[in-house]
A and B are shown apart, each in its own frame.
Chain A
Amino acid sequence: MKQLVTLNINGEQHELAISPDATLLTVLREDLGLLGTKRGCDTSACGCCTIHIDGKAVYACVVYAMSVQGGEITTIEGLGENGKLDPLQDAFIEAGAVQCGYCTCGMIMSAKQLLNEEPNPDEEQIRHAIAGNLCRCTGYAKIVDAIKMAADNGLKGQSS
């Protein structure tokens, strides 16, 4: 049995008929083809499905899609403006903070909440912000560097 739901994703309204226990992750990937949000552990343990609801990072794999009607959902595809990458995405490229890349989108979404709330984080704050995201390749050093770089670039942009 399917239920109707209207979801606001990356600024667009989507009317869908979904299974009542469909997770937001399933709807994003399988109904809408938004494949930037990855399926990893599927049990809120790895972080590669991290998205934002009303600006807050959550695991899409444990959010029932039916429960987020009225919320503003943002995925990695919703970052950046006018065809330009988000400064965090640029910084990840610049810092070489990607190896296999599977965790990258989730890492960026977690870092995005951090920088929205704390534009000048120290390393401890950065590491705490990505504590819910596992990377099995990089050892985290370049990811932390990238987030710091994005923060520094943002601050430079504000002062110039």
Chain B
Amino acid sequence: MALPELKEFCMPATADEVASLLEKYGDAALFVAGGTFVHGLEARGFLPGVEALIDLRKLGLDKIEKGRKGVTVGASVKFAALEGLSGLDTPAYGALHDALSYPPAQIMNLATIGGCIAASCPFYDVPAAFQALDGVVTVQGGNSSRELSIGDVYAGLFENSLEADEYISSLFLPKQDSGTSSAYIKLETNANDLALVGVAARITVGRKNKISDARIVLGGGLNDTHKRSAAAEAVLNGEQASDTLFQQAADAIDADISPISDHRCSAEYRGAIGKVYVRRTLQQALQRLD
């Protein structure tokens, strides 16, 4: 196998057991959840020195709790369970509804909320929607916890900012303001492909279609991580929604992209398609409010 130094696969049931394992293995321990991403790294030889895999799925982090201010989703909740979230069919959560429509059943039944964020993989769909909805993650480390915006979890391509003893325990999705709508669209080469380009958009629209708050999240290799486009959001905020405005916002993403070139497509192609998808995603979000 591709983890030649691996000694143990562990499934702790409590935070104390996690702490004991970290004490034993230190930086040689690696957290896993659904495992879909870790295996990809492992198979490519990107995980040297791992002596213990710590599976987090027995920690009881699999609850979905609705509160007055929003919904808290445990890190081990699978994509398939999130499909049943009430309100997912409303315009405000459109981006999440869209993003969950892309992964095949085999991934829906395995991938977890925490894992898809911690992977810091710009080609994933669901984290882009979480970021557009202003999701906040709670990170557990030892006996303490802290909160991070999703953007702050990312440190680089496939690298998160968490300390070696930290793991995501939950995600909070705040209740959205009235007049809010969102959407996510990706470009893929087949129904089981990672995003070549993926864009999530969220707009809150008031009287005369004036946009009071906008989020544009760029993914699919437009940068090394999912990233909000401050430039596009600045174009949208305070202005009346229209196709012309959406095109202006799309053109503005140049300030916020540094596209990846790889065997699937060039940076130039990603940049050009990114603009098209920003415009289309905004149009889709607006249409949902009709």
What residues of chain A have their CB less than 8 Å away from a CB belonging to chain B? 1, 3, 19-23, 42-47, 50, 53, 56-59, 61-64, 66-67, 110, 113-114, 129, 131-134
Interface contacts (Cβ under 8 Å), in number, total: 96
Bound CA span A42–B2, Å: 12
Assess whether B53 is in contact with A20, with CB atoms less than 8 Å apart.
yes
The answer to whether A44 and B2 have CB atoms under 8 Å apart is no
- In the complex the two chains form, is A20's CB within 8 Å of B6's CB? yes
Which chain A positions have C-beta within 8 A of B7?
A: 1, 20
* CA A129 to CA B105, docked complex, whole Å: 7
With A56-B80, A64-B9, A64-B53 already in contact, the answer to whether A132 and B35 are too (CB < 8 A) is no
Q: How far is B103's CA from A62's CA once the two chains are assembled, in angstroms?
A: 15
Interchain residue pairs A-B with the least CB separation, the first 10: A132-B104, A131-B191, A66-B9, A20-B9, A56-B109, A62-B39, A21-B3, A132-B106, A21-B1, A59-B106
B71 interface hit (Cβ, 8 Å): no
Which residues on B sit within 8 Å (CB–CB) of A62?
34-36, 39-40, 110
Given contact pairs A22-B1, A62-B35, A132 touches B6 in the complex (Cβ within 8 A): no
Q: Is the CB of A21 within 8 A of B53?
A: yes
Contact pattern, B 39-73, Cβ under 8 Å of A = 1, otherwise 0: 11011000000000101010000000000000000
**Contact between A59 and B57, CB atoms less than 8 A apart:** no
Taking a contact as CB atoms under 8 Å apart, the answer to whether B109 and A44 are in contact is no
Closest-by-CB residue of B relative to A20 is B9
- In the bound complex, what is the Cα–Cα distance between A131 and B193 (angstroms)? 10
Whose C-beta in chain B lies nearest to the C-beta of A64? B35
Nearest CB in chain B: distance from A154 CB, A? 19
A65 to B40, CA, bound (A): 16
Contact call A23/B106, Cβ cutoff below 8 A:
no
B244 within 8 A of A: no
**B109 near A43: Cβ-Cβ < 8 Å:** no
CA–CA, A22 and B57, complex, Å: 18
- The reply on B11 being an interface residue by CB < 8 A is yes
Q: Are B40 and A43 in contact (CB under 8 A)?
A: yes
Expressed in whole angstroms, the Cα–Cα distance for A44 and B124 within the complex equals 14
Is the Cβ of B39 less than 8 Å from the Cβ of A57?
A: no
Instruction: Give 20 CB contacts A-B under 8 Å.
Output: A1-B7, A1-B8, A19-B1, A20-B3, A42-B43, A43-B43, A44-B40, A58-B109, A59-B110, A62-B35, A66-B55, A67-B55, A67-B57, A110-B104, A110-B106, A131-B191, A131-B192, A132-B103, A133-B104, A134-B192
Known: A43-B43, A132-B191. A67 touches B11 (CB 8 A): yes
Give, as a whole number of angstroms, the nearest-CB distance from A109 to chain B.
Answer: 9
Chain A residue numbers with a CB within 8 Å of B105 are: 56-57, 110, 113-114, 129, 131-132
- Closest CB-CB distance, A24 to chain B, in whole Å? 10
**Contact flag A57-B192 (CB < 8 Å), given A19-B1, A44-B40:** no
Please measure, in the bound complex, the distance between the C-alpha atom of A22 and the C-alpha atom of B7, giving whole angstroms.
12
Q: A1-B8, A44-B36 are in contact. List 13 more A-B contacts (CB 8 A).
A: A21-B42, A43-B43, A46-B192, A56-B80, A59-B110, A61-B39, A62-B40, A64-B35, A66-B11, A67-B9, A110-B106, A132-B191, A134-B192
Is the CB of B21 closer than 8 A to any CB of chain A?
Answer: no
In the complex, which residues of chain A have a beta carbon less than 8 angstroms from the beta carbon of B42?
21
- In the bound complex, residues from chain B placing their C-beta under 8 Å from that of A53 are 109
Q: Tell me, yes or no, whether B178 is within 8 Å of chain A by CB.
A: no
Asked whether any CB of chain A lies closer than 8 Å to the CB of B88, the reply is no
